Amino acid sequence: MTVRSFFLLFIAVIGAAAPVSVQDRAQPSQQVRPQPPMDSERARRLYVSVDPRDHSTGYNFQRDLDAKAEADRRYAEITKGVVDYQKVKYRSSVGDLDIPAYLFQPVNKRGPKGHAALVWVHGGVHGNWDLRLWPFVKEAVDRGYVVICPDYRGSTGYGETFHNEIDYGGYEVDDVMSAVEYLKTLPHVDTDRLGIMGWSHGGYITLFTVFRDRTPFRAAAAIVPVTNLVFRLSYKGPSYQHSFATQKRIGGLPFEKPALYIQRSPLYSVDKLQVPLLVHAATNDTDVDFVEDQQMIDALRSRKPDLAETKVYVDPPVGYGGGGHTFSRRVNIETLQREDTPEQIDSWNRTWAFFEWNLRKLPQ
């Protein structure tokens, strides 16, 4: 290559790389894209209040009072001569409320410390101890257990003030654990042999009573339990979120109060488990969807394999309400008799064997 040709090539390269003048640049559009019109219907569906005054707007408290009175009347009727039944109250350790509870005991007591006891926790964001669990309670009493079933704060059937004291994952756990203090007043109860169990929200509370540094319980069973509120509220959407965001000690959603929701999600406290725990779940659960319970089961299997006994039931026959959420609570509400399936029988057989082993009397 001659000097002249090299020079011409150099000029061409430099010219290609030279900056383009402002005038030569293509100018981006200076127009701001107009915002689409507000979809007021979608906005209404997505809106979630954080005002506690909105929590129970339009709620029919008299209906719940009437339903509770009828359930209590029927309990008194069906337990007569079968078990020793009482409706009792005890003070919550929080110090602000008396907690009503159903107490079921053997008619013939064995004497001092003759009976192990179970605290049974009902489910529902706003639920109560109802009649459907009667056949299983009777089985427990027939096996020699004393059973206490708290209607913790937020339970239905006790009026507006009690209803609006709901504190999901907060004071309600204290209300349930305070049942132990009541059991200590019964001389025939061996408080070294206490178990706790619950379904759904009751399973959630059950988890929190044993996911702690110290617990009075020697064993726990959580069936189809709520496990992760951070995930759950996102999965369920605004209509479900309303029941949480308007609680006075929550007042917001997970993205607003992530630390609070993590604190109130048992999944993040698995490492505190120090006593045997049984967890059953169903793949066709449409309330606590299996994608939520699977998180808990995987955590227990990987981090607490020596303490956790877990079983997943694949698409068991559905119970009341549809879906597998009540697969082990299939009861005819008219006759109050079990409507057994192989899965229901298996779940209860495993549950009874679990408690009988873990709440057995130990050598002195």
| In a domain? residue 13 | no
| In a domain? residue 14 | no
Give pLDDT, residue 322.
Answer: 82
| In a domain? residue 20 | no
DSSP state of 133: G
179 residue type, one letter:
A
Residue 159 CA to residue 182 CA, distance in Å, equals: 23
**For the CA atoms of the chain, what is the radius of gyration?**
29
| In a domain? residue 10 | no
DSSP-derived pairing of the beta strands 146-150 and 115-121: parallel
| In a domain? residue 272 | yes
For residue 357, give the H/E element and its range.
helix 342-358
The pTM score is 0.89
The token duo for 342 is 């192989």
Q: Count how many domains the chain has.
A: 1
Residue 158 CA to residue 146 CA, distance in Å, equals: 24
**Running along the chain, 364 residues long, what does each successive block of 10 average in pLDDT?**
40 43 51 82 92 94 97 97 98 97 97 97 96 97 98 98 98 98 98 98 98 97 98 95 97 97 98 98 97 98 98 95 92 95 98 98 84
Residues in the chain: 364
The token duo for 101 is 């509870």
The CATH number of whichever domain residue 341 belongs to comes to 3.40.50.1820
Strand order in the sheet with 277-282: 84-91, 98-105, 146-150, 115-121, 189-199, 219-223, 277-282, 308-313
| In a domain? residue 27 | no
Residue 261: domain span: 47-358
Q: For the chain, how are helix, strand and coil distributed in percent, rounded to 5?
A: 40, 15, 45
| In a domain? residue 21 | no
| In a domain? residue 24 | no
